[in-house]
Structure 1
Amino acid sequence: MLKLLLQLFFVSFCFISGGYNIKTGPGCMIELMKFDMGGSAAVFGAAKALGQIKPLGVEVNNTDAEGRLTLADALVYACNQGAEKIVDLATLTGACIIGLGSSIGGVFTPSDDLAKEVFEASEASGEKLWRLPLEESYWESMKSGVADMVNTGARPGSAITAALFLKQFVDEKVQWLHIDMAGPVWNEKQRCATGFGVATLVEWVLKNAS
């Protein structure tokens, strides 16, 4: 029997009004930063659906955190709890929106097996995903002269370096997959959240819970 441990990462963003707006320029999307909790919302929605469906053999844990630094802490925590597989979702980079547009989530994983499972789930759910490379040579831009690493690398390939940052905090024995959902989390025409990721997570857990 396949044992799955679903770790839920709630990555919230505190949007503070007032003061100076230091994030300006074309494409800064400062007025839409409230959707940075979209990854959290998707995992929460999946947890709610799974709680109602009550599939066998699934453990659901919640953590409420903020940003990739705390997401890194959550990945370490999940590994320490004995998770065999981890799927995290986050509105992590604007670069993924530039690369894949507003309808497709970017997938990063060193595990072909886990990628196959999640893509089969996304096909069933109808949510669009595209696998992007974890190019290890890009890690050079993440190195620091005074610390183990920096939390942001060079602008080119920044969706990849962001995923590489998260990868540093995952045990090599754990199958891990990261979904950058910054694009499909928001419907610009309707000005509303899409709930992207919920259906795929539910499908994935149901298909692999036995």
Structure 2
Amino acid sequence: MQAVTRVEGRAYPFGAKNIDTDIIIPAHWLKTVTREGLGKGAFEALRREPGNVFDDPDYAGSPILIAGENFGCGSSREHAAWALGDMGVQAVLAPSYSDIFSGNAVKNGIVPVVLPQAAIDRLIEVARQGVEISVDLENMTVTTPFQDRLPFDMDPFRRQCLMEGLDEIGITLAKDTAISNFEAAVGQSRPWIAGGGRNEGVVVEDAGRT
């Protein structure tokens, strides 16, 4: 997972509320076992509508998605985060998220920023003017060229994972030395747990024989 401290660029001025994971990536796309190519199926149903924001060339490749409240509700499919990442989205700005979606987003290097509805409305207005928006994880602010400075909060652990590029595997590997030292100590003090000394000095009697 790539570390992310800042996301800058144009934003999709989407803003729709209660967008569930089936809208983000329809179920028939879940047959794949790879993340690659899922961006083509992202928001498939909405892309059938003429003039949709996702097919507007003015916003093509935008790294930021501005959404409405309860974004990512519905099923727990991690493919929703995969699809967003594959289409180039690195940060989502919304008033609220499904807990499972926001967790999946962080695990896949996507920054889920929570902002009040008034701030979201302002950012949609700014995005429609074609200017870039900046999401700064270090200072926990969203800024625009119009001097908007919108603070946000984030769970410290999730923020650390994003800034250091750590998923569950990365977190475990970062503690490799501590784990190895613990295993060595256990091997010395309790070898039967560590697999050492198996059957040494143990007499097994067959109670069925006389």
Range class of TM-score, shorter chain: under 0.3
What TM-score do the two structures reach when normalised by structure 2? 0.26
What TM-score do the two structures reach when normalised by structure 1? 0.26
Higher relative contact order (CA 8 A, sep 6+): 1
